[in-house]
Structure 1
Amino acid sequence: MDIKTIKIFDTTLRDGEQTPGVCLEASEKLEIAQALAKLNVDVIEAGFPIASPGDFAAVSMVAANIKGPTIAALARASKKDIDAARQALEKAERARIHTFIATSDIHLEHKLKMSRVQVLAQAQEAVRYAKQFIQDVEFSAEDASRSDWDFLCQVYTAVIAAGATTINVPDTVGYTTPAEFGALIKYLRENIPNIDKAVISVHCHDDLGMAVANSLAAVSSGATQVECTINGLGERAGNAAMEELVMALNTRKEYYRAATNIDTRQIYRSSRLVSTLTGIVIPPNKAVVGDNAFAHESGIHQHGVLNNSLTYEIIQPELIGVSRNNIVLGKHSGRHAFEERLKHLGYELDSQAINNLFVQFKDLADRKKMVFDRDLEALVSVKKAEIPEVYRLTYHNVVSGNKTVATASVQLTSHGKVVENASCGDGPVDAIFKAIEKAVGFEVGLKDYLLKAVTAGEDALGEATVWVEREERIFSGRGLSTDVIEASAKAYLNAINKMLAACGCPSEGQGEEVI
């Protein structure tokens, strides 16, 4: 049986970052890009360089540091955009310019104010211009699924003639259905005379919950590249989820007669990293990577799995990097056991990083009876997200009750000095946030707040995520502690420190200096 290879084009760093509320720093994008390289994705779309100086810098950083996958940059069908993309990709080992223009009549009339003839000419000119600098050029017909099929054939024929090596067929607004989209891909294959000179790619959105199904239908009809994101992140309802696409092809290889180059053992770890850095929680019933994906509540199911896991598990958890052997560590566990467990979980860290994490592990073990794999993963993810600490929490005290006004006092260290302040609030978290705001001495625009338990049990590690806004930019912070108030305060300060690193300090702290 012939098995065709499907290229995975990951756009987590570009389309995924367009998820409402997500704002990744350049260093965080590099962390995700490194995880994508370990996953062995074929293409990493690192960003949209013309969008902002920060996006340009992030694409440049990924291009300079990531080896293996092709690094792509998005550009509208204009010379200015293409110039920014090629400049950002200068240091890439393998580079691709991804240029696009809309082709549906609704976009032409209401957005572009252009005729079909004008769009056809601009698409061809953009590809021809990009081809002067980089041989690997991808062209996307935005809103292809709502475009006239014959006009699409004209556009794709023209851009392939101009040098496009990949043509992308996006379902930009998640409008199509599997049967319809599969038929479109088949029609394009049969009616583009030079289609043998280009790869057919698809990019599906999930507005009607069919992004993965539409992508798989396209694969069945001849597409050989799929564009997707980790955890299905993206505009509105998101994109096709990479982990679902890959495992569908892996599990049903005989049906689709297709496979990918993805190292599936990296899926779970990559999913958790993206969730941590973006602050977007993975739903427990999420396919493949959700907490309940391998949970069996029914007694009948449990009995079957114990006898033979294949009775109710079509995916072995080890295949995506989830260990069944959740060894429990405690305060008496030594450094060697700690280091071996990290290696078993797939983390490759240097000695200094392990030493720092071991100190944090011992501190956590003193607070908890048992430290689970998820706790260790949480500690590592905080290590990965470290930034210079302008402010650090050294002390906090909170008094709250249903008939008591919540009050909080905090003590922070900053540049060798200690400041403290206190405040009241509508509950303990609000009180400590206000006390921190008074201590740092400037207004902080709180956008959102999330609190969840990392593991089960009364001594579970609490994970808090906070989003703050300044100058129309969103910064997320994360904190861990068995004390949820402390976790919340750490997350708030983490977000403030990120904000200060990016924007500078708006004013001097007004907290009472005690040292």
Structure 2
Amino acid sequence: MDQEKLKKYRPYPPVRLTDRTWPDQVITSAPIWCSVDLRDGNQALIQPMNLEEKLEMFQLLVQIGFKEIEVGFPSASQIEYDFLRLLIDGNHIPDGVVPQVLTQAREQLIKKTFASLKGAREAIVHLYNSTSTLQRDVVFKMNRKEIIELGVAGARLIREQAERTETRIRYEYSPESFTGTELDFALEICEAIMDVWEPTPANPVIINLPATVELSTPNIYADQIEWFCRHMKNRDCALISLHAHNDRGEAVAATELALMAGADRVEGTLFGNGERTGNVDIVTLALNLFTQGVAPRLDFSRINKVINTYERCTKMKVHPRHPYAGELVYTAFSGSHQDAINKGMTALELTESGLWEVPYLPIDPQDVGRTYESIIRINSQSGKGGVAYIMDHEFGFKLPKDMRPGFGRVIQEVSDAYGDELTAEMVFHTFEKEYLLNSNGYHLKSFNVLKRHFDRDEESSIAEIEAMVVVKGEEKVIRAAGNGPLDAFCTALREGLGLRFVLHSYHEHALTRGSSSKAVSYIEILDQDDESWWGAGVDTDIIVASIKSLLSALNRSAAKNKKE
């Protein structure tokens, strides 16, 4: 960057709070949540929501569990006014849910706001005026005294209107651009407003302290909130609310630290939609609490429904890397990550602690209505652990540990050639082609155990088998005896077909349950060059599955010799 350009900027001043306490605090309960999707979120859309979309979004917010919802700025536009009337006249506001409406400190706007609320059981009237040094000097050209008088006049009119209505009115005040306002002045104007409204501990006002523009690191916002909470009179008569924007990309962190500093309430939006870089993301905040064992008091257990409704109503897309909700956040492509997740999921099945402890996954995807199928996805960066996970959790094949590197290399070759992510089905079809359907050299036509004898005294078993094997299109019958059917078949292959190999490893497990269940066998052989080859076979008869598995390994070995 041009060093001359840096001269246009200066660091944000710190708060002189040497005895701050918030760094030692822990969030142990959820704040009061207020959604501003229908106001902050809606005004930031290229195409604002129509009445039907606003109603659908409102109903989604109610289903999630929001008890306070800022439904708009009814004095600012006709559609905002009409939407509030739709909610009230259509009886769409459930008991326990309070609509919040925004107004500037101007007489005609306040009166129209109260007209829009006629018939509502309860509402929060949210008054604001800008208090920042920059806006006082540049936009309003007003001094501190004039700004306070403007806010107080608005507060006084709101109280007068509230006393004339049957609607129960709760008060909220925001010194807009709080983070650009001197702390002592922000406190002075808020206390002047409170003097007008005369709150009590039983009926507190909401003092909303917005980071309308995020100007500093999150710790400074926390310092500002702690300073404010310490110095305000009648602290027990106010709910301190946060409204962080994301200009520095730190809104979630700033809000969490400010809650530690003593705030009670959070205003934000789903997925952080809002002006410029957006508002604080309530989905992330709530699920961050959830992963710490704190009940968020919002229900995101069906995150896909939330995403679909949000995207349909706002015409916005949730980023694929969005925490908790993104399409790819429960997905691992890296081989080492996949291996760790695979081992973690296996260990989880064996533990009785009930704790979710899986590497790279801070939350169980099922807790937000997602599935394990998408945890691991396969591309050229993937490794043996990810491939093994897909084969196990998608198709029930528990590949032996020593078999995984070889199949991983096969998948990597396919992925490199394909040039894109491989679906689970593509992984399985590759496994079928490489192991289960590979009959380039040898193919089993028939197999029979002619005689089987167990000598109890000798503790030994003898089996005699006969098999028909197709070798390069020619059917050949082979017979032999051995310690069991598999050993006898190995002997028959050596004696009848002249094959040279050693049976090195053997694994088996059931694929499905029930009378028609199938079994899978995995066999490792060492060929005449002492090179390892794995094979796999599936059948309803475990003996036949092992025979197929042995031929699979031999065929893979034979394919190597053909390439040479």
Structure 1 length normalisation: TM-score? 0.60
| Alignment match of 1:283 (pick from 309, 313, 319) | 319
| Alignment match of 2:343 (pick from 278, 295, 304) | 304
Q: CA deviation at 1:157?
A: 1.0
Amino acid at match of 2:258: A
| Alignment match of 1:316 (pick from 364, 368, 371) | 364
| Alignment match of 1:65 (pick from 89, 92, 99) | 92
Instruction: Tell me, yes or no, if the aligned pair for 2:105 and 2:129 is still in contact at 8 Å.
Output: yes
Secondary structure at 1:41 match in 2: coil
Amino acid at match of 1:30: L
| Alignment match of 1:208 (pick from 232, 238, 248) | 248
Secondary structure at 1:50 match in 2: coil
Instruction: Tell me, yes or no, if the aligned pair for 2:300 and 2:306 is still in contact at 8 Å.
Output: no
Between 15-24 and 202-211, report the one with greater CA deviation. Answer: 15-24
Q: CA deviation at 1:83?
A: 1.8
> After superposition, what is the alpha-carbon deviation per residue over 1:302-351, rounded to whole angstroms, capped at 9, x for unaligned?
4134313631321122322334489xxxxxxxxxxxxxxxxxxxxxxxxx
Q: Larger Rg: 1 or 2?
A: 2
Secondary structure at 1:136 match in 2: strand
Matched, 1:26 2:51: yes
Q: CA deviation at 1:217?
A: 1.0
Structure 1 residues 176, 70: closer, same or farther in 2, change over 3 A?
A: farther
CA distance in 1, matches of 2:159, 2:304: 37
CA distance in 1, matches of 2:425, 2:277: 33
Q: CA deviation at 1:195?
A: 2.0
Amino acid at match of 1:319: D
Between 277-286 and 130-139, report the one with greater CA deviation. Answer: 130-139
Q: CA deviation at 1:283?
A: 1.2
Q: CA deviation at 1:127?
A: 1.9
Q: CA deviation at 1:252?
A: 2.6
Secondary structure at 1:264 match in 2: coil
Instruction: Tell me, yes or no, if the aligned pair for 2:131 and 2:178 is still in contact at 8 Å.
Output: yes
Structure 1 residues 259, 92: closer, same or farther in 2, change over 3 A?
A: farther
Matched, 1:94 2:122: yes
Structure 1 residues 207, 456: closer, same or farther in 2, change over 3 A?
A: farther
Secondary structure at 1:75 match in 2: strand
- Name the structure 2 match of 1:136: 170
Instruction: Tell me, yes or no, if the aligned pair for 2:27 and 2:259 is still in contact at 8 Å.
Output: no
CA distance in 2, matches of 1:60, 1:292: 40
What RMSD in Å do the two structures reach over aligned CA positions? Answer: 2.4
CA distance in 1, matches of 2:333, 2:136: 52
Q: CA deviation at 1:174?
A: 1.7
CA distance in 2, matches of 1:456, 1:141: 54
Amino acid at match of 2:144: R
Instruction: Tell me, yes or no, if the aligned pair for 2:122 and 2:169 is still in contact at 8 Å.
Output: no
Matched, 1:149 2:183: yes
Secondary structure at 1:125 match in 2: helix
Amino acid at match of 1:285: R
Instruction: Tell me, yes or no, if the aligned pair for 1:12 and 1:45 is still in contact at 8 Å.
Output: yes
CA distance in 2, matches of 1:76, 1:207: 23
| Alignment match of 2:151 (pick from 97, 104, 123) | 123
Amino acid at match of 1:247: L
Secondary structure at 2:169 match in 1: coil
CA distance in 2, matches of 1:119, 1:304: 62
CA distance in 1, matches of 2:224, 2:299: 30
CA distance in 1, matches of 2:304, 2:311: 11
Structure 1 residues 323, 300: closer, same or farther in 2, change over 3 A?
A: closer
Q: CA deviation at 1:166?
A: 0.2
Amino acid at match of 2:313: L
CA distance in 2, matches of 1:310, 1:3: 21
Instruction: Tell me, yes or no, if the aligned pair for 2:27 and 2:260 is still in contact at 8 Å.
Output: no
- Name the structure 1 match of 2:328: 292
Instruction: Tell me, yes or no, if the aligned pair for 2:341 and 2:358 is still in contact at 8 Å.
Output: no
CA distance in 2, matches of 1:246, 1:18: 23
CA distance in 1, matches of 2:254, 2:206: 19
Q: CA deviation at 1:294?
A: 1.3
Question: What are structure 1's unaligned runs of at least 5 residues?
Answer: 327-454, 459-515
- Name the structure 1 match of 2:489: none
CA distance in 2, matches of 1:70, 1:304: 47
Structure 1 residues 214, 53: closer, same or farther in 2, change over 3 A?
A: same
Aligned residue runs from structure 1 range 32-51, under 5 A: 32-51=57-76
Amino acid at match of 1:192: M
Secondary structure at 1:270 match in 2: helix
Q: CA deviation at 1:204?
A: 0.6
Matched, 1:8 2:33: yes
Instruction: Tell me, yes or no, if the aligned pair for 1:77 and 1:99 is still in contact at 8 Å.
Output: yes
- Name the structure 2 match of 1:56: 81
Question: What are structure 2's unaligned runs of at least 5 residues?
Answer: 1-25, 163-167, 200-204, 349-355, 375-422, 427-564
Q: CA deviation at 1:89?
A: 2.3
- Name the structure 2 match of 1:261: 297
Structure 1 residues 2, 208: closer, same or farther in 2, change over 3 A?
A: closer
- Name the structure 1 match of 2:549: none
CA distance in 2, matches of 1:218, 1:43: 20
- Name the structure 2 match of 1:382: none
Amino acid at match of 2:193: V
Structure 1 residues 272, 125: closer, same or farther in 2, change over 3 A?
A: same
Q: CA deviation at 1:75?
A: 0.3
> After superposition, what is the alpha-carbon deviation per residue over 1:464-486, rounded to whole angstroms, capped at 9, x for unaligned?
xxxxxxxxxxxxxxxxxxxxxxx
Instruction: Tell me, yes or no, if the aligned pair for 1:6 and 1:259 is still in contact at 8 Å.
Output: no
- Name the structure 2 match of 1:198: 238
Q: CA deviation at 1:267?
A: 4.2
Amino acid at match of 1:271: I
Number of matched pairs = 326
Secondary structure at 2:121 match in 1: coil
> After superposition, what is the alpha-carbon deviation per residue over 1:182-207, rounded to whole angstroms, capped at 9, x for unaligned?
00000111111122101000101111
CA distance in 2, matches of 1:90, 1:129: 17
CA distance in 1, matches of 2:66, 2:86: 18
Q: Which has the higher contact order (CA 8 A, sep 6+)?
A: 1
CA distance in 2, matches of 1:291, 1:121: 50
Q: CA deviation at 1:457?
A: 10
CA distance in 2, matches of 1:189, 1:7: 17
Aligned residue runs from structure 1 range 332-351, under 5 A: none
Aligned residue runs from structure 1 range 165-184, under 5 A: 165-184=205-224
Q: CA deviation at 1:2?
A: 9.3
Matched, 1:160 2:215: no
